[in-house]
Amino acid sequence: MAKTMNPIDAQARKLDTAKVRQARNTGVILICLSVLVAYVFAFGTSGGDAVFRLSRPNDPWAAPNLVVPAMAFSYIAAAVLAFLGARQFMRGGVKWTGLSMGFGLLLAVAAFLVWATAGKSFSLTGMLQATVVRAVPIALGGLAGVLSERVAVVNIAIEGMLLAGAFTGALVGSLLGGFGGLAAAVAVGGLFGFILAALVVTYRVDQIIAGVVINLFVLGVTSYVSSQVYQEFRFLNNAPVFRPVRIPFLSDLPVIGPVFFQQNIFVYGAFIMVCVATYYLFYTRSGLRARAVGEHPQAADTLGINVYRTRYINVTVAGMVAGFGGAWFTLGSVGRFDEGMTNGLGYIGLAAMIVGRWHPFGALMAALVFGFADSMQQKLALLQTPIPSEFLAMAPYIATIILVAGLVGRARPPAADGQAYIKE
């Protein structure tokens, strides 16, 4: 008789087969990137050097420009990508899959930037500074998603909360000043978080439907007021903008000074919130209880944890975080509200949460990737690359699809995510 395989051994063998398949797929992708870099970026360049300016005229400590020979760099990048791709087909390539893919994508993006800048120059420091700024609403949206889904509440309403925060920040900020508008935006975001919690926790409405309802409600109300009220009473849509705050000494450092230490309170607030949320979720008793509610609410309830209250608190706080992020669009950027100005960044925040594996710092890192894609398309438009502007505008969304499609299969959400809890 044929020997029956142990179920544990069968599962392990299945996992090994999946890892080998993933490694080979990664190898194919890297080799294709190598061919693309060689034939498009190397052969397609007119030669010359790509000059990346690391300092600005008013910087106290100037750093020399980064000069990169465009054609030589493209050939080297293509060779390295080919090596990384071939390495995935060799013995031991499985354990290098994630690192090879990450480094390969980074190298391909660098080759693309060098190709686009060949014979020209642009401020690399300025692009990195814009990357951090543009990542703020995405990071805060992702953080709001983490706080909600860690207690098993899917927060599709992040887009609506961002929009509500932007609208309230502009309206109240026009009347009471910047800090008044900011406080009101946080309060309104918390209110919508509480409404979402009431719908999905107490009344057990489907979490996706509840989030979509909030998004549509906020979009409808803000669009009506923007088109009907603000057209006549323009003074209600003229809020002050928070200016950058320079951190002494640190802001004078080359490159990292302008990028991290010459920003407004929204950037600093986002970094602080990510740190606080990480400490709360992983180093406090309350955070442990919140994660227990998201993983196994029945067991948490048995141990005396109030599942309903925990979900209410986390989702309300998530709404406040999203309201703060929404205020960035008006009080941290242009000082006025425009219809639908969030442009789907709340949904990209959800993607950042998934790519970041439901961790605050992971969501921040993913948000920086999306922010880089957004700032890069702005810079490439200024460089007048032969790529159509419509494709450049798609860059942040293409990055979202690539990252989610590549990583979502390996990311595990909280076990009870999206499930209503009924106390027995």
**Domain map (residue ranges) of the chain:** 15-119, 125-410
Task: Spell 95-121 as b/e; 16+ CB within 10 A means b.
Answer: ebbeebbeebbebbbbbbbbbbbbeee
Both tokens assigned to 245: 């705050």
Single out the residue of 324, 40, 284 nearest to residue 185, CA to CA: 324
**pLDDT at res. 46:** 64
What's the CA gap between 408 and 351, in Å, rounded?
9
**pLDDT at res. 149:** 96
**pLDDT at res. 1:** 44
**pLDDT at res. 205:** 94
What's the CA gap between 366 and 101, in Å, rounded?
15
- What pLDDT tens digit does each residue of the chain (424 aa) get? 445 555 555 555 555 677 788 788 888 888 998 998 888 887 766 668 888 888 877 777 778 888 999 889 999 999 999 999 998 888 767 777 778 887 888 888 888 888 888 888 888 888 899 999 999 999 999 999 999 999 999 999 999 999 999 999 999 999 999 999 999 999 999 999 999 999 999 999 999 999 999 999 999 999 998 888 888 888 889 999 999 999 988 888 888 988 999 999 999 999 999 999 999 999 999 999 999 999 999 999 999 999 999 999 999 999 999 999 999 999 999 999 999 899 889 999 998 999 888 999 999 998 998 888 888 877 777 777 777 766 767 766 776 666 666 554 456 889 998 888 887 7
CB 197 within 8 A of CB 360: no
**pLDDT at res. 250:** 87
Both tokens assigned to 98: 């994630």
Domain 125-410 top-level CATH class: mainly alpha
Q: Which residues contact 97 (CB under 8 A, 6 or more apart)?
A: 19, 22, 23, 26, 88
**pLDDT at res. 50:** 87
